[in-house]
Structure 1
Amino acid sequence: MILTVTPNPALDLTWRIDRLVPGATHRADAGAVRAGGKGLNVARVAHAQGASVLAVSTAGGRSGIELAAELATSGVPHRLVEVVGATRQSIALVDESLGDTTIVNERGVNPSDPEWAALLGEVVDALPGAKVLVVSGSLPPGAPQTLLPLLIGTARDAGVPVIVDTSGPAMLQAADAGASVLKPNAAELVEATGIADPIDGARSLIARGAELVLLSLGADGMLAVTGSETLHARLDAPLSGNPTGAGDAGVAACAVLYADGVRDPETLLRRATAWSAAAVLMPLAGEISDDWVALEERLVVAPFPRTVREDPL
């Protein structure tokens, strides 16, 4: 089973408009509403691909009621801890003419200590059946600094590897706590480490205790960085679409393989890059195209460094 934890879930609202004009009034058809947050997206993708999953998160307020209702209809196995603070909302405006997506994420409300303890309790209860733990997404402002190390340490004590996709100081905490895999993008890596060079930045996380860094490069694919090698995967031709949720699909791919016992960096990189690309072809986060197998066959994988393309994926 893949156990996912989403510390800061969101009710995702998506509207598609003809063209986004700053300062203008826009009209749109009814938007899509979905339970979101990175960990829930990971669970949704993995579940759709036939993996056994359990998604643990929180829900509060009217937005939390909507999140819980949508998640129930999705069929994704889950446990939600009821909290007082309202679940945040995430708004995506898709510009149909340009193919761009503008996102506004609320920061979220920090649960109380007893509510965090209840979340940890759900994780502890589920760990005996887990093959891998995924902690994915931002932490709400004011979240305890001990939260992420405690989740990782608890899983490691149970013999369960941990994949983390987060940002800022939390990424450094995850590396220090011994997360097996970290999945930043290029901007998050620089923000967390202060190191401009992507390889040096990734290797600094390896030196802190991570085993593998899967580094998203957006249009230029993905890197797999270990203490001894660096591989680069990209598609053989540009791909256009909606990049929202592409990173979550990559994490889901890594989690599915980890749950099956796969640890080979190139295999993990190929699948993560293919699923990320397949997510770009879908209108909403938490989905991947059935064409992911063909996309994986189109990947160009080579040692890094090499010339990085300027054109979009």
Structure 2
Amino acid sequence: MNQAPILTVTLNPALDLSTEVDEVKPDLKLRCAAPVTDPGGGGINVSRAIAVMDGESAAFVALGGATGTRLAELLDRAGINLHCIDAPGETRESLAVTDRATGQQYRFVMPGPTWQDRDAQAALDGIVRAAPPGGLVVLSGSNPPGVPDDFAARLAARLADEQAGLIVDTSGPALRQLARGGHRVTLLRMDRAEAEELAGAPLPQRADTAGFAASLVLAGAAQAVIVARGDDGNIVAHETGQWHAESHPVEVVSKVGAGDSFVAGFTLATARGLDVDHALGWGAAMASAACMTPATELCRAEDAHRLFAERIVTRL
């Protein structure tokens, strides 16, 4: 299927380790199962999920040290086309531990190396050089320590000159910078708690969420704003309308990578020319499919196709 080119960006990647123990207890040596190792980080996971769905993307990744070398090898084996820059320190690791007794999962995420202004500028220039004209750039995941809060906003301005769209899934001060408006990125995604923090008030009903998301579109923050409402599904406000996608009733094995799978589904559908309501349905389907798989496996294509066929997307 034809699609516009996609470049994902991961400034703070991680080597993801996942394992299991019989029970998580303090002060004891916990005997773990053999770990599963995957390349991780927001943009990397988006590229991996796009590949699962027979889509194509390139990944712009900042890597450093022996851990970075190992992560690059894993991405190469996965067939991900890489654009690498040197990170200012060792690439971080993250750990997910499942307690077999309760089924609960504990996730430990390290901060990553600290960046200087020159590192952020080099990354900005590198992304713009790698950005596909007429394509989509996906900036997903947390900023490394030291990266300025306005990095995504600066990138949006640079990409506008290259006629490349920007999809952003970030948090904290970087999200607040974009939400102030004026950048008109292609898509801005957040969860319900983040939306309520930005709104300065609870958003208990779908109409409340849709109204807030629409206000961000009107302010020029983005052409489309998605708010994930957890078990109550996802809402998108777009310049052409507002829609809600029901969450799928699946057995949750692990929520690791569900948000990234959502972004992958929406991005790939958009790159393939589908309307925003269908893109929302693909995002919801791939996120739910990711919840059905263990650890950091992300979604499976057969599950995503089945769930998309069962989608319930309603215009608000």
The answer, yes or no, to whether TM exceeds 0.5 is yes
The Cα of 1:4 is off from its aligned counterpart by: 0.7
Paired residues of 1:165 and 1:182 also in contact (CA < 8 A):
yes
The Cα of 1:188 is off from its aligned counterpart by: 2.5
Corresponding residue for residue 109 of structure 2: 105
Identity across the alignment (%): 32
Are the structure 2 counterparts of residues 261 and 227 from structure 1 closer, same or farther at C-alpha, using a change threshold of 3 Å? Answer: closer
Paired residues of 1:12 and 1:34 also in contact (CA < 8 A):
yes
Paired residues of 2:10 and 2:140 also in contact (CA < 8 A):
yes
Corresponding residue for residue 214 of structure 2: 203
Which stretch shifts more, 139-148 or 226-235? 226-235
Amino acid at match of 1:5: V
What is the distance in 2 between the residues matched to 1:158 and 1:251? 22
Which stretch shifts more, 55-64 or 94-103? 94-103
Instruction: Please report the TM-score for the alignment, with normalisation by the length of structure 1.
Output: 0.88
1:71 and 2:75 are equivalent in the alignment: yes
1:188 and 2:194 are equivalent in the alignment: yes
Corresponding residue for residue 158 of structure 2: 154
Aligned partner (choices 196, 221, 233) of residue 233 of structure 2: 221
Alignment of 1:1-313 (within 5 A): 1-21=5-25, 24-129=28-133, 131-175=135-179, 176=181, 177-197=183-203, 198-209=209-220, 210-226=222-238, 229-235=241-247, 237-262=249-274, 264-285=275-296, 287-289=298-300, 290-303=302-315
What is the distance in 1 between the residues matched to 2:192 and 2:49? 23
The Cα of 1:259 is off from its aligned counterpart by: 1.5
Which stretch shifts more, 90-99 or 35-44? 90-99
Are the structure 2 counterparts of residues 220 and 83 from structure 1 closer, same or farther at C-alpha, using a change threshold of 3 Å? Answer: same
Which stretches in structure 1 are left out of the alignment for 5+ residues? 305-313
Amino acid at match of 1:86: E
Corresponding residue for residue 206 of structure 2: none
What is the distance in 1 between the residues matched to 2:295 and 2:80? 16
Paired residues of 1:34 and 1:70 also in contact (CA < 8 A):
yes
Paired residues of 1:248 and 1:286 also in contact (CA < 8 A):
no
The Cα of 1:271 is off from its aligned counterpart by: 0.6
| SS of equivalent to 1:184 | strand
The Cα of 1:131 is off from its aligned counterpart by: 1.3
The Cα of 1:41 is off from its aligned counterpart by: 0.3
What is the distance in 1 between the residues matched to 2:297 and 2:284? 15
Are the structure 2 counterparts of residues 48 and 236 from structure 1 closer, same or farther at C-alpha, using a change threshold of 3 Å? Answer: closer
Are the structure 2 counterparts of residues 26 and 191 from structure 1 closer, same or farther at C-alpha, using a change threshold of 3 Å? Answer: farther
CA RMSD of aligned residues (A): 2.2
Which stretch shifts more, 103-112 or 30-39? 103-112
Paired residues of 2:151 and 2:174 also in contact (CA < 8 A):
no
| SS of equivalent to 1:183 | strand
Amino acid at match of 2:234: M
Paired residues of 1:6 and 1:38 also in contact (CA < 8 A):
yes
What is the distance in 1 between the residues matched to 2:42 and 2:87? 19
Amino acid at match of 1:91: L
Amino acid at match of 1:226: H
